[in-house]
A = this chain, B = another copy of it.
Amino acid sequence: MCRWLAYSGSPILLEELLYKPRFSLIDQSRHARMGVETTNGDGFGVGWYGLDGTAPTVFRGVGPAWGDVNLRELSASVSSPLFVAHIRASTGTPVQQSNCHPFRHGRWLWLHNGSVRQFATVKRDLVLAVDPELYPFIAGSTDSEVMFYLALTSGLHEKPVEAVERMVGFVEATGRRHGVEHPVQMTVATTDGDRVWAFRYSSEGNSRSLYYSTVVHTLRDMYPDNEILQRVSDETRIVVSEPLGELVGAWQPVPESSYGVIQKGADELAAFRPILP
């Protein structure tokens, strides 16, 4: 199990979300409240976009996030309008930088919580389906990264939702061919620096938790004295594995088997339906 967050909105220091809230992501690295595993100490990563349109910067470490001095330093000096962060609890693959999220390809970032069940059994078939041009870019050994490369192979750049639906359909078909009852458990975030897509799905219909923040103007009405809420833009939005902070009414669960898109203008929320190969 892992925990992650994605932020899009007015540029803020990373520490505003990673460290300052009660139940912050860094708190969750030691004491998650909602996960199947309370400790997420097998590495971490953050990825952020600047204001200049270049590819995102990624910083990843193999120790527990709670004790990483460099992460603390960077979070207090890096400001970004769109960033993601992830804390890892390994399900068996090695604790190494190349297995830490976010994974990056070009301008795209990818984060995953969950697992491809019996990954050792199905890995070869999944990897074979990755576009041979993309294959050499797989650097680590996780199920999460293979899911990313399968999604890229399925057209993530052009039709992100459909690509993820095809990826999940393929993983489910492959798993079932190998006798795996519930092949996929996931919450996933992916972004190209403009929009963020967040997915909540599992083959068994009982997915890991995922929440998105209530629209800012509603929260401002509810909490007229909250200083940060006054500062951030109307379009600011956060997606998280489990709620940060203590503001009642600030978080909405992403429904089972659905996805959301954070973007300029109205955000979207719709049903997620795996597409069989």
Contacts and interface: CB of A to CB of B under 8 A. Distances in A.
Given A30-B39, A141-B139, A63 B62 contact: yes
B96 A120 contact: no
Interface centre among A59, A60, A64, A70 (most CB of B within 10 A): A70
A67 B90 contact: yes
A121 interface: yes
Contact of A97 (B39, B77, B90, B96): B96
B94 A139 contact: yes
B74 A97 contact: no
B41 A95 contact: no
A145 B94 CA distance: 16
A58 interface: yes
Interface string A34-54: 000011011000000010001
A50 B30 CA distance: 31
Interface stretch (A107-115, A128-136, A162-170, A193-201): A128-136
B67 A95 contact: yes
A177 interface: no
User: How many copies of this kind of chain does the complex include?
Assistant: 4
A42 B30 CA distance: 11
Interface in A59-105: 59-64, 66-67, 69-70, 73-74, 76-77, 90, 94-98
A74 to B, nearest CB: 7
B95 A121 contact: no
A70 B63 CA distance: 14
Given A41-B41, A73-B58, A132-B124, A97 B98 contact: no
Contacts of A31: 38-39
A130 to B, nearest CB: 9
Given A62-B63, A123-B135, 16 more contacts: A30-B39, A41-B64, A42-B64, A58-B73, A59-B70, A60-B69, A60-B70, A63-B63, A63-B95, A67-B95, A69-B97, A94-B98, A98-B141, A121-B136, A124-B136, A127-B127
28 contacts: A30-B41, A31-B38, A31-B39, A39-B39, A41-B64, A42-B67, A50-B77, A57-B73, A57-B77, A58-B73, A59-B73, A59-B74, A60-B69, A62-B63, A67-B90, A67-B95, A69-B94, A69-B97, A74-B74, A94-B96, A94-B139, A96-B97, A98-B141, A123-B135, A123-B136, A124-B132, A140-B141, A141-B141
